A and B are shown apart, each in its own frame.
Chain A
């Protein structure tokens, strides 16, 4: 709708559009916004002390604020790996061939398996006596004990298994949304494959890449079951979600739990804001190719 039309005909407040959307809005307001605000308020109402006390407690207790570092230490490398590998592979599979369809389907399966099943599978397969260890020992590729579970690496691997397909699918959607005729035009003007990627695809992918990074990061940052089942939940993989869980269900300190949850949300919001801000600095413009 052009702005002229909108100025002339302001939609009435209570027309049918409103009725269509109202239940969903109401639902989310009640079950999402309200609890979130409730939690937000609760984080400032500790069981004892002033309104900032829980936050202070969190940031002065090294075992507590370390969880942020640990979580970042997992989420950032995982996201970089996932997005970094997904980009060239999605780009490679941008044409609608049989390959593309098969690989896409096969990669969708790990997404739906879910983190819990992946964790269980990892304990069996990546464990010290699993098939991977046996194969490596058979070919003498590695002679020590295989420690890929119950530590940092276990969580990393599990996050890559669950996160890479998601990043791949999302990037594939973005890559296939770029009209291939643009690359052809660039070719006729003298751009080889690399230049086609660098000057045409990459700038047009920038927005999608930023969004994929953010979503992949959020997914990795929220890690919980993997950190417990294939990690070392009281040691090297004590992530912030574990701290929140303990506060709520082991200490029954709901105010503190809300505090940790808020800090978790806020920390991840900063990263998202930074990434989206960086993206703006690189590219401002439309994404559709061909005729404007």
Chain B
């Protein structure tokens, strides 16, 4: 496997399989994406969206139903996993329980017939990179979750793969460890200078780690963009919902003025921007709680605070309008429940999407 490659290309990759009931399910539908060397790409989406399937297909653990995967000019989806040479970190680490940690890490090199001296050197380097020196002769069962995870990473990188695949590696760790390991993973990626494809359902993780994010839902690509763009400009209502736009209002389209649109719902009128071509008389307006503040401005919504969730730095408040609409906003400090407030949000932060099809 070449170590210097320019890009990994997925071309209309599809995977279908027969469920136990006999029905054909499409796990991945015509996914196309190009990953240049050195990039950190996150596959993001809710459970069942097909992201792990895509990763398994890239690794060769699952065959494709359609499409192809190319590494530069070489077609690799016809190769079995043991011939692709990618490093993979599994969700449950999949450390071999009967081998020491050192033997685990050296396994890939052993399979390639690397000499003893070279193996020892590279294994030591890998241990240093994941900062796990001193534990080499333990069995996996004797290590903590975070340590096992580092071993899994070391095992994948020691073979110096052109591509590193990670399948939700942090999901089994507690919150504090997760934050720590996030930084580690980013550091390792930078030091290695190779490409990483990282599967997660946690949008915070994806945003903090990735150079580019592929958002998937029901096997289909929803958006491929940088974290900033996905955060601020989600391509459709599903991506918006997933990325934390907790206020999704079912609105009537009242008036369109170029890129702006006036929408109304339950006695509330807002001016927002059109994100996708609108169809019909109804739509969705998506607003981030963080971007809705107490004050005055172009858009104004009056209501009463129903619930306050104090978070130290700020509070998440539930505000109920007179007409019964419930909105969430963030505000510094700790307001009291029952207060009347006036919320405001800039026009460009009210994202309006079409309402597709029958519910």
Chain A interfacial positions (CB closer than 8 Å to B) = 179, 181-182, 184-192, 195, 199-200, 203-204, 283, 285-292
Contact = CB atoms under 8 A, between A and B. Distances in A.
Interface in B91-135: 92-98, 107-108, 111-112
B111 A292 contact: no
Nearest to A287: B97
A290 B84 CA distance: 23
A287 B88 CA distance: 22
A7 B119 CA distance: 45
B59 A189 contact: no
Contact of B85 (A190, A203, A287, A288): A190
Contact of A190 (B97, B111, B141, B142): B111
B359 to A, nearest CB: 38
B96 A182 contact: yes
A291 B111 contact: no
A190 to B, nearest CB: 4
Contact of A189 (B107, B148, B165): B107
A200 to B, nearest CB: 6
Interface in B3-60: 59-60
A186 B61 contact: no
29 contacts: A182-B96, A184-B90, A185-B96, A186-B111, A188-B60, A188-B87, A188-B156, A188-B165, A189-B82, A189-B87, A190-B82, A190-B85, A190-B159, A192-B82, A195-B82, A203-B98, A204-B98, A283-B98, A285-B98, A286-B97, A288-B141, A289-B94, A289-B96, A290-B97, A292-B95, A292-B141, A292-B142, A292-B143, A292-B148
Contact of A286 (B82, B107, B141): B141
Given A190-B85, A291-B145, A292-B148, A286 B92 contact: no
A288 B61 CA distance: 22
Given A285-B139, A286-B139, A185 B98 contact: no
B97 A184 contact: no
A187 B94 contact: no
Contacts, number: 96
Contacts of B85: 190
A209 to B, nearest CB: 13
Contact of A188 (B59, B140, B142): B59
Given A291-B145, A291-B172, A186 B96 contact: yes
A188 B139 contact: no
Task: List the 5 shortest-distance A-B pairs measured between CB atoms, nearest first.
Answer: A292-B141, A190-B111, A189-B108, A185-B94, A187-B81
A177 B82 CA distance: 23
B97 A292 contact: yes
B97 A285 contact: yes
B194 interface: no
A288 B97 CA distance: 7
Contact of A186 (B59, B83, B107, B142): B107
Contacts of A186: 96, 107, 111
